[in-house]
Structure 1
Amino acid sequence: MRRAVCPGSFDPITNGHLDIIARASKLYDVVHVAVMINQSKQGLFTVDERMALIREVTSDYGNVVVESHHGLLVDFCKERDIPAIVKGLRAVSDFDYELQMAQMNNGLSGVETLFVPTNPTYSFLSSSLVKEVAAWGGDVSHLLPEPVHRALAGRLAERG
């Protein structure tokens, strides 16, 4: 079985993330979406909330498994016998950082990283930018799956 992982914080998952996951799901038998836990960052959504939203918006794919992980991504891959990491690249600036990570991951464990160019529609998109624009009242509905937009609007209203 061909297996890969799409890692990230997904706080929240955007249409850009979803595009990369969807494309990976066509190339691999099983795609693990790894919600990486960074204890030093306070997310807008809890890890469990992020995982639930990802499960909801990827449910039609049929071959996506959503999990969380605290620690090195290569350890996640080793534990599940996953030989490939799939990462989206938005711009050349992403490549510099991601190449270093790919080389480190390969050196640590032999895991390969495949870079997928982001759909130009989403080349500027990041979770941080979406949260910032939404917090200032900007319309981000076209940048997020509908259930995620609803959850984001609700969370921002709570913090009001």
Structure 2
Amino acid sequence: MNVIFPGSFDPLTKGHEDIIDRIVEIFGHVDVLILNNYNKKHTFSILERKEMILKIFENNTKVKVNIYNGLLADYIKQNHVDIIVRALRNTLDFENEKINAKINKELADVETFVLFSQKNNEYISSTIVKDIYFNGGDVSSYVDKVVLEMLNDKFRRNE
């Protein structure tokens, strides 16, 4: 079974990490698919995001990382994806993911499974992490040390 967890992951948060770990528990493996969201201004390049995720999961052979520039439905068809897994933090996520699931089913005949965020992660998002970081706050409880080091290296900030 080909299972993907798509997202922009800019940057990867502990909430994302938890979802990836849980996908591996349930399905035995996952392909993390990094996409560019053209509605967002990215902090890290797509290659930097891949490097970030590979470093965080370097000891987990059940997590693969791929990059795709294009329509998710096309990737799904080209790579024979069976299941998309998405995370839900709140009702806003639910409404967006419901639409995306219907579109992906229509365009690529694929099912979407959802995992609810753990209570301690339900308010964490990449956007919030960046907002806290760029306003001088401490994000170490929201991201892996790899992400914090990459943020500090890229923006010359020492914590």
One-letter amino acid matched to 2:78: E
The count of aligned residue pairs is: 157
Residue 64 of structure 2: SS of its match in structure 1?
A: strand
CA contact (8 A) 1:3 1:28 kept: no
Q: Once the two structures are superposed, what CA deviation does each residue of 1:110-133 show, in whole Å capped at 9, x if it has no partner?
A: 100000000111100111110110
Write out per-residue CA displacement over residues 74-118 of structure 1, whole angstroms, 9 at most, x where no aligned residue.
211111111100001001111011001101111112100000000
Deviation at residue 40 of structure 1 after TM alignment:
5.7
Distance in 1 of aligned mates of 2:4 and 2:96: 18
Q: Report the 3-state secondary structure (helix = DSSP H, G, I; strand = E; otherwise coil) of the residue aligned with 2:4.
A: strand
Q: Match for 1:115: what amino acid?
A: V
Between Structure 1 and Structure 2, the one with more helix by share is: 1
> Are 1:84 and 1:113, in contact at CA under 8 Å, matched by a contact in 2?
yes
Distance 1:130 1:40 in 2: 18
Q: Tell me the equivalent position of 2:95.
A: 96
The equivalences for 1:17-32 within 5 A come to 17-32=16-31
Consecutive unaligned residues in structure 1, runs of 5 or more: none
Give every structure 1 segment of 4 or more consecutive aligned residues whose post-TM-superposition deviation is greater than 6 Å.
Answer: none
Cα 1:65–1:143 change in 2 (3 A) is same
Identity of aligned residues (%): 33
- Aligned residue for 1:84? 83
Per the normalisation by structure 2, the TM-score is 0.93
The question of 1:51 aligning with 2:50 is answered yes
Shift of 1:6: 0.5
Shift of 1:39: 4.8
CA distance in structure 2 between the aligned counterparts of 1:75 and 1:94, rounded to whole angstroms: 23
Distance 1:133 1:71 in 2: 30
TM (norm. structure 1) is 0.92
Q: Tell me the amino acid that sits aligned with residue 21 of structure 1.
A: I
Report what 1:33 is aligned to: 32
Q: What corresponds to 1:12 in structure 2?
A: 11
Query: Structure 1 residue 31: deviation in Å?
Result: 1.0
Gaps of 5+ in 2: none
State the AA in 2 paired with 1:126.
Answer: S
